[in-house]
Structure 1
């Protein structure tokens, strides 16, 4: 039999209201009564009906998280951090993998509603401004990343331009003169910003920017990085350094370099982006831009909580979280 509040109250010799106050964390309960209730809770194995409680409060107890691909380590790690941050607010997380297509991203937004989730964290790659409209049906939204969508919703990201500049300046400080970039993609907002930072850092250093040194990547997987590096190393004058727009591209690039007899970093230095766990254990370990993923996840959850708790509407927040450069063996550390 499942224990009820009444069962707990009878065993503890207190009112049902007192048991409810203890279960819900209210402070104004006599210490002796609290002790007896807690003992009775343990003896009966009572578990609160979270679903019923949320229903009474007009809440679902869920947060939606929409990401392109969980197989990309950055999004997998970010999802874990969002889950941890959401647990601090007694939320569970519903994860939707959109594959970065506009159709799937639109469908995910359309499915939202107060009956589905209390809020949503969205990392889009293909959505346009008109796709938002009323699709969220009043559910608080937070957008992650730098997809260029001009909509009045809360936004959390790092400064991708400055981060890319930091990565390329590190390479120029090592005396590298022929620096390539892997990851150009017109459908990724972050790609345009990282490319802008790459170009700015090269211009500051007075280094050439051959068009063949900017290599596109349809996806951001290891294979894309390996294929791009194979092309770069086939050039009459290959680069002596490469800035990759995520860690998977960089790890694929390092593999392709090794297969062709190039030493990393002696012959070619490589920098990635995202500081995923794999980057610390690759051989050589990967120098990479390290966004504060914990801060991104916690800030997104805090913004949703603020929207829910606020009695007044407030202007959309554009929050930039910290980042750093993690120097490892792929650039000579």
Structure 2
């Protein structure tokens, strides 16, 4: 087997050195470095071991220059001060960094004009790819775009659209959260988070799961227990909870369509003197870090945010490199119900 380069040799270790020591072609090393799928597991493992031994670092700038790329991708989300999107952005940056990519993060506010501007590629030659979580654009809007920058969609706004899409099964997840409340013996289960606007696809799916769970549990679907909100912020959850408590027959459990709504609802419950969970059980959605440190800690649906970020970056890199072409792909990622104090109390 060829010997490794002399450690006293201060020149930069190159792809040819890796290929020589691994006993493969330079093209094979390139395929491994760029994440191409057409490499056998055995060969990939051998090349990766040599890369580790030689401490090889690809010259990303030179590679991007040769390929006419900037080495920059963009992530555009509605609101950066929403903890879910902030946590997701951190994970996307980490996943992209493993690929030698820099992430430009943008905030659209769910504004249609801003989302259209982002979908056009932001500026010519600035980015190589885009990960977009739209609230206002439609599938027709994206089908009409003339920019050929590869794009991956997040969120629930557009299903089976013109671009690859990474998403959680919101109906099933919401159903699981509601069924958990019903299994605890709760009979007046409210929902906070309904939206009538065209952009409320997340609300529509989670409301469908909530209703399915009630029907399967043999509970009536009482529309007076469905509380609409303007946005998924703490204040919206607090106001919606107040309306539910002011009703003649308030709920004994609440499923909130986001953790921020649940944290707002929790504040109102505590201010009104309700004991959570003995009097009112509470569940959210998103598994943001704040929910793990509240009093009580928050039961929630936890989407696999790391899987979402890695899948989005992977799909984007495959489109950018030309490894995958053709029809858009829709990838569903895992989720789980995390049961905490807000529904079962402490010490259970």
What's the TM-score bracket when you normalise by the shorter of the two chains? 0.7 to 0.9
Runs of 4+ with >6 A deviation: none
Unaligned runs of at least 5 residues, structure 2? 1-7, 23-56
Say whether the 8 Å CA contact 2:160–2:330 is kept in structure 1: no
SS at match of 2:18: coil
Residue equivalent to 2:335? 323
Among 202, 219, 224, the alignment partner of 1:190 is: 202
CA deviation string 1:35-61 (max 9, x = no partner): xxxxxxxxxxxx998545422221111
Equivalents in 1 of 2:92, 2:324: separation in Å?
26
Among 128, 134, 138, the alignment partner of 1:128 is: 138
Residue equivalent to 2:52? none
* TM-score, normalised relative to structure 1: 0.85
Count of residue pairs the alignment pairs up: 303
Cα offset for 1:111? 3.8
Q: 1:26 to 1:200 in 2, by over 3 A?
A: farther
Cα offset for 1:297? 0.3
Among 91, 95, 106, the alignment partner of 2:101 is: 91
Cα offset for 1:314? 3.0
* TM-score, normalised relative to structure 2: 0.82
CA deviation string 1:221-256 (max 9, x = no partner): 100000000000000100000000000000000000
Cα offset for 1:136? 6.2
Equivalents in 1 of 2:227, 2:203: separation in Å?
11
Among 67, 76, 81, the alignment partner of 2:91 is: 81
SS at match of 2:75: strand
Cα offset for 1:133? 3.5
Q: 1:269 to 1:295 in 2, by over 3 A?
A: same
Q: 1:29 to 1:150 in 2, by over 3 A?
A: closer
Say whether the 8 Å CA contact 2:72–2:128 is kept in structure 1: yes
Residue equivalent to 2:301? 289
Does structure 1 residue 27 correspond to structure 2 residue 18? yes
Does structure 1 residue 162 correspond to structure 2 residue 153? no
Q: What is the CA RMSD across the aligned residues, in angstroms?
A: 2.3
Cα offset for 1:114? 6.1
Cα offset for 1:102? 1.1
Unaligned runs of at least 5 residues, structure 1? 1-10, 14-18, 32-46
Among 315, 320, 332, the alignment partner of 1:303 is: 315
